[in-house]
Amino acid sequence: MPEASPARVVADADVLAADLLCGEGPAREALDHVRRHSWVTLVASDPLLDDAEAVIQRCSTAALAADWRERIEREREAVDHPTGDHPALASAYRGGAAHLLTYDESLRSAETTLSLKPHMQVSVRPPDAFARLFDPESLYEHLEGGAYPGPDRDPRA
């Protein structure tokens, strides 16, 4: 499996749906950090997107869910994982993501954190915590070298 990179992020289905359906809020703020920087990657498997699309469809319309799926397919880096794996955890593991954003308290529990440590280095947190702690300047300097040029993409484009 690839080494975990702090520039690779997985958003669980609940966060992906909240980003679209709730508008301004923690999920949007967190994922806008990802969308603003071409050197930060959203990682997601097809089963993870399937879960998010189902939530979006249940909470809105099939048309909105289909439009969202078409767009997110272009924005994410796809990863594969075995059937039956938890889509968000498997996406982080297989995709070398150091961050997993979720509202699922069971994934953020101390017990889960301890059980994941021997297998993968991932920070599992809610989107509001990621949004507060994400420091693109120091991350860019660490990963890319040189001075941080600022955001290079429009998160709404």
The pTM score is: 0.93
How far from 48 is each of 111, 147, 153, CA to CA, in Å? Answer: 23, 35, 24
From the number of C-beta atoms within 10 Å of its C-beta (0-12, 13-18, 19+), residue 49 rates as: buried
pLDDT above 90: residue 30: yes
Averaged pLDDT of the chain: 94
What pLDDT score was predicted for residue 1? 62
Sign for the pseudo-dihedral over CA of 36, 49, 114, 29 = positive
- Average pLDDT of the segment spanning 6-11: 98
Q: Is the pLDDT of residue 52 over 90?
A: yes
Domains of the chain: 5-139 (3.40.50.1010)
